[in-house]
Structure 1
Amino acid sequence: MINICITSRLSSLPIVIAYRKGFFEEFDIKVSLHVNTHHKGVLALLESGRIEVGEVPTISYLQESFLKKSKIKRIYKGLFLYHSPLSFYSRFRFRPEDLTRNKAYFIPVPHINSVERLFAEKFLEEYAPYNPVKIRFMDTPGFLEEKEFQKPSCLGISSDPFLSPFLKNYHDFKEDTHLSLLQPKDLVPSTLLAFSGDCILKTGRNASGVLLAVKKAIDFINENTKNNSPKIWEDLNLTQFYPHLRAGDLKSILFPHPLIEKGVFSYQGNIESMYPLLKDTYFRVIRRVLTPEVVKPVLDFSEILEALEPKKLFDVRKLTSFQNGGADKQYAPAPINYRKLNAIRHLIVDVNSVTLDILQGNFSSRLNTDETLLLDNRVKYLINSMLDSFNSTLELQREEIAELENLISILEIKLDRSAVDLQYSEEKYRYLFEFSREAIALVDAETGNILEGNHQFRSLTGYTRGDLTKTTIEDIILGDQIAPQLKFRTNLSQDAMLSLPDVDILLKDGSKLSVDLSFTSILLSPKKRYQVQFRPNQERKEQERLQHEFISNISHELRSPMTNIKGYLEFFKTDKTLAYNNEHKNMLEVIEKNVKRLSFLIENMLKLTTSREKDAPEEVVEIFDPVPVIEDVIHMNSHLAKGKAIEWELRLKKGLYLKGIRFEFSQIITNLYINALKYTMKGKVSLSLEEINGKIEIIVKDSGIGIDPNYKNQIFDRFFRIPSADNKKIGGTGLGLSIVKSLIEKMNGEIFMESKLGQGSTFKVILPKTSISS
């Protein structure tokens, strides 16, 4: 059994792929794969012979090559694993003058002896050569990188967006800083596969099987990346080895990633790319300046790669690289003298053994103790107690993890049920969409392309499904009829509901058809779409024409008898020869009020028809001050507030002028003002007129019954009245607001409404301001 130890960084991916795809078994190698949080733990296990193979930083291996004399404790190189396009990243774009000696910074690195640490040193030397700062390099496991990077005292980090995916959201100094260090031609060898001395001495053929399997895994990654095969990641379950990355994140990171295509996974590396980092680099332990001439033979993999080319097992001990692994000259530090410190020596050996056991996952390992009260035994008791406490906490966490796993299983079952329900809902939606009586098309909100059209839409326009795949909504809608209201590729985050009447569309045979359009934004998979309804409007126009004609005829027919009624009523009121008692006078007042009301309704009906008729006779357009008109309207309709506890507020600014028909403007104010009085039993009615941004703004506000938000888009329709008991008591025809809107649009203005049920309504009218000279 070959024990392989890796870290939870993505640099170990070839080893995981070889393990998951069964490449080790192809070469008759039984492998146990273990994940450690840090490179230091992997190096310690390799040196002690507890594991046979591990992933180690290239620079750490380089230092070990100059240290170890013993073949058993020596670490032997195997293959390069990962090559990094290093750059320096930070949370902000700092300048050289921003760095200060008075502040201490730290930089997270995967290992104190790593290319990332050397790169960060060189970057700061070149970027701020005249402003040296206090830097502390902190060994950081991969899953803690982002957390440490976010700390205020962290100056930055040297890495790449593949090993540290969160870096894509932060500042890359390579983008705006033209230093030679940041413009490398080749990738820098970051990590390599290493063997323990015990493994090489005892299992020469097994070592070659490990090398062949990992080499095949690297080729597998690169070939599938070039062939654009995303399915290779679906059946691997990599979250077991990279727990800090979710399954969805892993797929998006691994495939397709530009750095994988660039060749970050390679067993062949150009070690010359390391020379700028190694220049003048001093290792304190070995007290040696590493030069390119010394490094080159230590990192020469040519003999190993040639031996692997036949793709057959062989005894690696026959290769020079495994006979004399490491540097020609070692610089091991002087050993510690334990002759007079036997107790401490034994304690250190025992603690080292237990630590290595725990690194391998054996959490039940303990120190050996006896019944004596020696100092080392008391220390052992304390360490064992600490380990027991740690183990009990770990057991509790395991129980919590088991509960979470059960909960996840339940959630997965619910998710599967939801997926089935969603599939059923999608099929139901597609059926209703296809066989709807309305002509409907689905449009991409970003591009305007027609994605799909139902049967009714294809029958109406004559287009086939094949035609629609090459057509945009702007190709069908003639002219620039939707561009001002609905802009594609912009405001995709906002919902949109838009109705466009009388729009001409182009049919497949080249003819035109007038329709009413309705745009509604929806979210599907998960992009934004528009659902567009097409309604032919010939029938609607004919109904409107007949309705207008009927209203016009009825209004004119009612006007003549109403004139006679008014005349006779005036005669009876002014004839002093007639003796009236109080009851007769009350009757005449009731008749007069109802006559006025009926006259007002007839005038509204006439105004509605004439405002929509293109051939209506032109009325006199004049420039006038709106304030006197508003005051007249208030005076003439003040009787409607009798008997109500209403508070008044008027804020009218004089000296502003409108251009239009004075009578039509009085109709706008009359309808809005009467509505405010009718629907306010008690409270406050306010009316204001002022200049805002070069336009005249009129606001009519009340504290009445308010408007149900469900009917907000219908209150300006003709003959529409909100179905409620209050409305039935108050009465009306539903024409007032329709007349108001048509007259405001005739004056090139706009009207807006805000209302809360039970709290009142506010109508805002904005009209263009004019001057007397114009």
Structure 2
Amino acid sequence: MIQICITSRLSSLPIVVAYKKGYFEEFGVKVSLHLNTHHKAILPLLDAGRVEAGEIPTIAYLQESFLKKSKLKRIYKGIYLYHSPLSFYSRFQFKPEDLTRNKAYILPVPHINSVERLFAEKFLEEYAPKNPVKVRYIDTPGFLEEKEFLKPNCLGLVSDSFSSPFLKNFQDFGNSLDLPILKPNTLYPSTLLAFSGDAILKTGREVSGVLLAVKKAIDFLQNTTNQSTGNLWDDLQLSHFYPHLRVGETKNLLTAHPLIQKGIFSHLGDESSLYPLLKDVYFRLIRRVIQPEAVSAALNFEEILSALEPKKVFDVRKLSSFQEPTNVKLHAPSQINYRKLNAVRHLIVDVNSLVLDMLQGNYGSRLNTDETLQLDNRVKVLVNSMLDSFNAKIELQREEITELENLISILEIKLDRSAVDLQYSEEKYRYLFEFSREAIALVDADTGSILEANNQFRLLTGYTRGDITKMTIEDIILGKQVSSQLGFGSDLSSDTMLSLPDVEILAKDGTKVEVDISFTSILLSPKKRYQVQFRPNSERKEQERLQHEFISNVSHELRSPMTNIRGYLEFFKSDTSLPFNAEHTNMLEVIDKNAKRLSFLIENLLKLTTSREKDKEVEVVEIFDPVPVIEDVIHMNSHLAKGKSIEWDLSLKKGLFIRGIKFEFSQIITNLYVNALKYTFKGKIGISLKESNGKVEIIVEDTGIGIDPTYKNQIFDRFFRIPSSDNKKIGGTGLGLSIVKSLVEKMSGEIFVESTMGEGSKFSLYFPKINATV
């Protein structure tokens, strides 16, 4: 089994593709992939022989190749993986003079010995030669690059738009500067596949199979096209290896990406592109300057690539590239007799082994302890206890992650269901909109353009769908009342409502159609829309005409008997010979006042049933105290309470004056008081009058049957009566509250109603308070 360590950067993609597509099995090699966060962890694992192969930075390999090591400790080159068209990116376009030595900057790099780090040094040297700055290079895993890049003290980042996709949204200095380091079309060998000395010594043939499989994957990536990779990346399921990239983002990156076509995945490399970066670079561990000739020899892959060309498995140990690395033989630490070491050195070796185990993913590894009380053993016990504590926390976090994953799965299912429900709702709304019996159009609130209209609207106007999309609402509605009241393009409230009766609209054939229009604002997406309803008003006008005719006929028919009633009443009142006592006289007065009230109602029926008032009589407006009028109304209608267990609660403050017609005000109080008596079988009726916020407040309340909240907004409509068995028994015309509302508004007043079924109703009237001296 060959274990290969890779990072979560896209530079490892050839190894992942070879693994997912079965290329390793094709060449007879069993491979397991171990995902590591950083190159820093892969190098010591290779050095210790814990893993057979791994992805490492080219410059890090270059440094390792100049160290004197034994075959076991040596890291062997295998094949190039990734070539990067490097550039310098920043959150903003800074100038050389903006850099200051007084500030310490940071710059994320994949590894301290990486081509990105050398490129950054060379770029800053060329960009600001007279203004050197303090830069601290931070080894950063791929999934943390964006977080470090966005920090305020981060100077920038050296990378490309493929391995770091988020950089496409920031400033690329390569597009705006002409520096030698920013040469276009230059690819720098960034990472390569390397092998441990132990793998070369023990599994020579398997190593060649790994190289052949990776080379085939690189050739596959170079030949990707839109046609051949339509669903490839979904099928490979790469999210496990690149968790910091979204599935859709990964697919968009890999499907015929321009940089892939340019050759960023290639087993052929040009080491000469590294020479400008390596010049005068001093490696402290090597204590020497690397010359171009030495680089060319260390990065010469010709022998390996030639051996791979037949595409057959062979023993790599026969190649000179995998022979004795140096003339001086060194001993690997594993060959040293640790029993001769002292306790502290023994402890260090054991801790080193433990760390390597954990880097390899074996978090259950522990130090060997005994029952002695020696210092090294006590330290081992403490380290093991610390690891147990950390493992317990990690296990809890894993359980939490599992729960979160389950929750996310549930939420995804619910989201899918919501999407289906939303689609169904949209289709249902569109169906109801299109086939509604009302003529409806959707209008843009900013421009007044008609966005859509349903079938009934098209039948009403004769316009087609093509005609409608080219028109505004003002092209259809004659007159300027719409634009003046709605103000298209202005900042209107989201609950705008407007009703326009008796409006003429222009049909396609040039005829004019009279309709009633209502505008209701709705929010669809971020923009505001108007839903406009068009109702032909010919039927409404015909109903009003018939209603007016009916009421007119009824009023005329009632005038004759009322004239006779009042005539005989006057006769009885004026005949002194009739033996009337005080009670009889009082009854005649009540009859007289109610007859006058009935005559007034007959005369005003037509005014309440038509918008065209004709032959207005001269009305006497006066300033009066409403209390006497209220007391008179209570006295005249007291006989209606006979036989009922009703209590009265009167609280009337005198000295408050209002303006209006006394008789009309008496009609308001009479209707409210009579309704309270009619709908209250037992309990209490209260009438109060007081001053409230500079107005005269009159409240009529009862403990009767109450008003159904469903019909609360309709009780003031003419001829409307709540459909209930109680109403049928009590009787009525449905005009009382309509008359009240009309007369209250005529006196510049307001009326409000509060009611609870089974508990009673409360009518509140507010009239402007008038100074009695006026």
Label 1:135 to 1:519 Cα distance change in 2 as closer, same or farther (>3 A): farther
1:226-278: CA deviation from partner (whole Å, max 9, x where unpaired): x7987555545444334466xxx542x44657999564896439999999999
Q: Does 1:360 align with 2:336?
A: no
Q: CA deviation at 1:735?
A: 3.0
| 1:195 match: secondary structure | strand
Label 1:104 to 1:309 Cα distance change in 2 as closer, same or farther (>3 A): same
TM-score by length of 2: 0.61
Q: CA deviation at 1:73?
A: 3.7
Q: CA deviation at 1:738?
A: 7.5
The structure with more radius of gyration? 2
Contact 1:37–1:142 (8 Å) recurs in 2: yes
1:533-586: CA deviation from partner (whole Å, max 9, x where unpaired): 655443234323433554566567768987998899899889999986553465
Q: Quick check: 296-305 or 65-74, which moved more? A: 296-305
Label 1:266 to 1:4 Cα distance change in 2 as closer, same or farther (>3 A): farther
Label 1:312 to 1:755 Cα distance change in 2 as closer, same or farther (>3 A): farther
Query: Given the alignment, which residue of 191, 194, 200 partners 2:192?
Result: 194
Contact 2:11–2:163 (8 Å) recurs in 1: yes
Q: Structure 1 CA distance, aligned partners of 2:561 and 2:294?
A: 114
Q: CA deviation at 1:359?
A: 2.4
1:284-683 alignment to 2 at 5 Å? 342-370=342-370, 373-399=373-399, 437-438=437-438, 467=466, 474=473, 477-478=476-477, 513-514=513-514, 535-551=535-551, 582-584=582-584, 586-587=586-587, 590-591=590-591, 594=594, 598=598, 605-608=605-608, 612-613=611-612, 681=686
Give the corresponding residue for 1:37: 37
Give the corresponding residue for 2:82: 80
Contact 1:443–1:452 (8 Å) recurs in 2: yes
| 1:362 match: secondary structure | coil
Give the corresponding residue for 1:212: 216
Q: CA deviation at 1:78?
A: 1.6
Label 1:477 to 1:640 Cα distance change in 2 as closer, same or farther (>3 A): farther
Q: Structure 1 CA distance, aligned partners of 2:764 and 2:48?
A: 82
Q: Quick check: 430-439 or 352-361, which moved more? A: 430-439
Label 1:87 to 1:762 Cα distance change in 2 as closer, same or farther (>3 A): farther
1:445-468: CA deviation from partner (whole Å, max 9, x where unpaired): 99999888776666656677x859
Label 1:395 to 1:434 Cα distance change in 2 as closer, same or farther (>3 A): same
Q: CA deviation at 1:54?
A: 4.4
1:37-76 alignment to 2 at 5 Å? 37-55=37-55, 73-74=74-75, 76=77
Query: Given the alignment, which residue of 264, 267, 270 partners 1:268?
Result: 264
Give the corresponding residue for 1:735: 738
Q: Structure 2 CA distance, aligned partners of 1:277 and 1:675?
A: 97
Contact 1:445–1:488 (8 Å) recurs in 2: yes
Q: Does 1:241 align with 2:250?
A: no
* % same residue: 53
Q: Structure 2 CA distance, aligned partners of 1:78 and 1:4?
A: 15
Q: Structure 1 CA distance, aligned partners of 2:625 and 2:68?
A: 103
1:159-212: CA deviation from partner (whole Å, max 9, x where unpaired): 6998788999xx96779x99989x978699899443223289441352242143
| 1:735 match: secondary structure | helix
Contact 1:18–1:216 (8 Å) recurs in 2: no
Label 1:753 to 1:191 Cα distance change in 2 as closer, same or farther (>3 A): farther
Q: Structure 2 CA distance, aligned partners of 1:258 and 1:229?
A: 9
1:672-711 alignment to 2 at 5 Å? 681=686
Contact 2:107–2:155 (8 Å) recurs in 1: yes
1:315-371: CA deviation from partner (whole Å, max 9, x where unpaired): 897999977999xxxxxxxxxx99996443333333233222222322332334455
In the alignment, structure 1 segments of 5+ residues that lack a partner are 327-336, 621-627, 655-661, 690-697, 767-774
Q: Quick check: 714-723 or 193-202, which moved more? A: 714-723
Q: Structure 2 CA distance, aligned partners of 1:234 and 1:394?
A: 31
Contact 1:281–1:290 (8 Å) recurs in 2: yes
1:606-652: CA deviation from partner (whole Å, max 9, x where unpaired): 44456x34x968999xxxxxxx9896596796659986566989999
Q: Structure 2 CA distance, aligned partners of 1:273 and 1:699?
A: 94
Output the amino acid matched with 1:204: S
Q: Structure 2 CA distance, aligned partners of 1:214 and 1:50?
A: 26
Output the amino acid matched with 2:90: F
Q: CA deviation at 1:96?
A: 10
Contact 1:450–1:468 (8 Å) recurs in 2: no
RMSD: 7.3
Q: CA deviation at 1:213?
A: 1.1
| 2:81 match: secondary structure | strand
Q: How many residues align?
A: 704
Contact 1:78–1:193 (8 Å) recurs in 2: yes
1:736-757: CA deviation from partner (whole Å, max 9, x where unpaired): 597589989xx9xxx9999987
Contact 1:521–1:531 (8 Å) recurs in 2: yes
Label 1:100 to 1:198 Cα distance change in 2 as closer, same or farther (>3 A): closer
